Chain A
């Protein structure tokens, strides 16, 4: 992949002393997405306490996840790990009867070198339930990358396509060689190879994206993950895959290398500009001409007018914690905002290449300098930069939000972007709803003149 933006777009790297959620937090949305799954987090009290506090009310709703809490005997290898996990998994099978158990490896299992990958197949055979292993630990990953590790593990369990699709494609083309779009368009799909999208989205957002592609006669054969583990899509040689989230680089690599799929490298469908670019890229790969996409994007931008008036010219600073930052920054620049800094935990320049290119193009088109991208940021340095820049909005984790607000800097909790519906044309408004909320609140309280609420000597 030739990446040419190096002269204009640079990625700095800091110390990595930043705040983010532990990647095991992915169980909170994945157990809800995959209805017949059970997530078993193998870790310590620290992990358990994090989940308990981060997941808040969900914990009381009898979630389909639990901790396999390691005790001193487990750490010092006095107890047999295999027997311990077997006992717990048998109980889970009895109580919940899931179609799959997903073991989440943590920092502790890494440090004590617990061989989860080795034990899983044995136990799977013994108890008769598929067991996946995802090492979503804080030694290697940040927050949303947890989902990446789970999906990468899940990709191995997707059934294989019956016959190599490349051959089948040719056969099909030989038999039905009529032009792709006939009739009234909607019911007919273009003749293209199988397309599987990867990334966990709420089912209604997934159907919205399916529908957008259907408007272009593109058929989505399946999603990774699916609503049920038992319905995983077929993968294999000749299947095209495309990611919907920027943090799925490991899954993408697995799909290319292990499953022999073709990756469509596109910007991510966040914001109307991103959604259009995403659809266009998919269509271009399949040689399908897009229909009415420009008008559709234009319509969406017009419907956002009230919000755009609010954000235009305002500046924003991403402290970085969930890897959505580049896509969001690109969208906000297109909305007329000025982005000072894009902090990001990890930057996969290959997987995000198309997104980075779109960011650069957007900056050029909007006549703004390309913001600095800071990988592995350092929160104390960032707070110093925030103090100098005094942006209109800081997108940050909850550890810093209240202290910054007290110092007169409006903030938006970054975690909300992970849980809100932000993909596709229809949800562009939701992104701006989130971004403008602090600005609107500020406007409502403007006249009270109490923007800094800390004593003088502790101000930023």
Chain B
């Protein structure tokens, strides 16, 4: 059992939980994730480790409510327990020295980008951050990102804050201004990562993405998270989750994420009806 120490609502539908897990906190590195199962009837879902506090023995996860399990997780309070927590999983981010690194994050991806940005900076790279959201109220972790990067750009789809447009538009602007970019790291919804990948491929800029396929055990034993990388099947949970963006079969990933769309809808509807959630 893993105790929830604190909870913060970062934006509508985006929650941050700090969870007591000393072993994971001591070992987690940027780019890694955990698998969570809330209770006995629960499913296993992967969540990126957004931060860790080795002294307090805690890790934090930040997630968007998109279905039953994330809604249920968001309903928990400090003092509540999560039944199962496994991690840290996946290969840590390989930073290397690239000169300037641009970290591009869409929506809740900003949470996942934060430790990655820090890692790239600690490795001696100049880091430019681009975070984006639908509107001003959905922008998260602005302060934290600002202190983690050399320069931060913010975009909103409706222009209510920062630049109007997508994160990929901002990246395009930087490229067109002939800024030195050694590497791009993108994390967020698949269409956004796909767009970033298409853009940087035109300009031959090395690009890493953190993929988010369906996962079950997340220890390499089932292959539900399989993705095609450079024509070869790889398991994102153990071979990734980070891959060269230009080698990813994006359409296959998009298809596979829709495998259980109907079941996910049914499960959420049942939960909303039973818990009499507002809305």
A, B assembled together: no
**A binding-site residues for B, Cβ under 8 Å:** none
